[in-house]
Amino acid sequence: MNTPGSASSALVLDHVFVMAGPGAVLADHLVELGFVEGSPNVHPGQGTANRRFFFRNVMLEFLWVADLMEVRSPLTRPTKLWERWHGRADPEVSPFGVCARALAGADALEELGFPYWSYEPVYLPVGWSLLFGDCDALAEPCWFVIDPPRGLSIVTDEPMDHPAGARLLTSLSVSASVTRWSTCARGFQGQKLLEMEQGPPLMILEFDERRRGRSCDLRPAAPLLIRW
């Protein structure tokens, strides 16, 4: 498996999200372990809010529904964020999202090998969009790609140095209750962004090839396991 974010594919991993209860109090456990929390976000028009942790090559987002009307609006409803959040305890519903970004703009996107549709929420800068994989299977994670205007890149000054010691994501594994992965999932797997397993929902993030021998298991609050 290539290291997530390697330049050998058309996509680079940007971030992952995990659905959480309001306020994502489970994120407090990461803070207690020495992970430095970045700035939170509210997504106007989308009806969601988050807490975030930034690393050298990925961002971990804990996401929850903050406005029922907005998340169910005609603009947001096709994303199925409401269904994922509402069913986050259901083993047949994946509470995860996996987001990549194109390395070479629209030309690279044409070669992804899976269908997608464009979502342009009001909180994104003008000219930016999120390309959602055209997949109806809630048992799979939400697959989507950030498409910035050509020539622009994503820059952040968020904290990335954690006393806990985790720095660089070296392995990402996602399990889902499926018998066959969708075209979108296989497209992401083909880009060598992650490993996929069949089973109850579980996301495993491994940093720095687990050199420190430490781990954080957030189950049962969320099916998330972090190792570093």
Q: Which domains does the chain have, with CATH numbers?
A: 11-149+165-227 (3.10.180.10)
Which of residues 84 and 189 earns the better pLDDT score? 84
By the 8 A CB rule, do 95 and 83 touch? no
What are the tens digits of pLDDT across the range 31-48? 999 999 999 999 999 999
Total residue length of the chain? 228
By the 8 A CB rule, do 138 and 87 touch? yes
Based on its alpha-carbon atoms, the radius of gyration of the chain, rounded to whole angstroms, reads 16
Question: CA angle at residue 166 from 139 to 185, to 5 degrees?
Answer: 25
What value does the mean pLDDT take over residues 117-146? Answer: 92
Dist. CA 188–CA 196, nearest whole Å: 10
pTM (2 d.p.): 0.92
Provide the pLDDT confidence category of residue 150 given band limits of 50, 70 and 90. low
